[in-house]
Amino acid sequence: MHAPLSALANLRGELGRIPLTRAMGLSVEGVHGDTLVLAAPLAPNVNDKGCAFGGSLASLMTLAGWSLLELALEARALPADIYVQDSSIRYLAPVWHDFRAIAAPAPGESLDAFAATFAERGKARLRVHCRVPLPDGGDAATLDARFVALAGR
């Protein structure tokens, strides 16, 4: 994805206006092609057992997906309201360290096609796959979600 610095700055600003992202210490780690990475430190995101709270993992993965769409449309100067419609989450292993959520279009989906549909119709959907990697390369958690972008701002 070609994401101008101004689009990335806008995304950071929008994420910063969500109080819970500040409480989580969320940051935008980067954008690489069609992949977007958010990061969070463990300390503000622990559960009662001292590993990462499931709600924090779910929130970071959902926000990574949301950010992927937001940035794709921002970068093309297409303002939109983006909503998550549904998601399936699997919690596979406890997370004992700072963590990242990596979001990309689901297989068969494309940001270009999504943006083209949105530009034409003022509405478009995208399925996103997101994962929280473990240090050894496996997954600690995965999310498959559907998002919708609506014109109107």
Residues forming contacts to a second copy in the complex (CB under 8 A) are: 14-15, 17-20, 23-24, 43-49, 53-56, 58-60, 62-63, 66, 81, 83-91, 94
Which residue's CB is nearer to a second copy, number 46 or number 119?
A: 46
Q: Identify the residue whose tokens are 């559960």.
A: 47
Amino acid at 86: D
Which residue's CB is nearer to a second copy, number 83 or number 135?
A: 83
Which residues sit opposite 27 in a β-bridge?
39
Distance in Å, CB of 88 to a second copy, minimum: 5
Distance in Å, CB of 85 to a second copy, minimum: 6
Distance in Å, CB of 25 to a second copy, minimum: 10
In whole angstroms, how far apart are CA 78 and each of 3, 111, 131?
A: 13, 13, 27
Distance in Å, CB of 59 to a second copy, minimum: 3
Which residue's CB is nearer to a second copy, number 94 or number 133?
A: 94
Tokens of 36: 């977007």
Query: How big is the chain, counted in residues?
Result: 153
Distance CA 24, CA 121 (A): 35
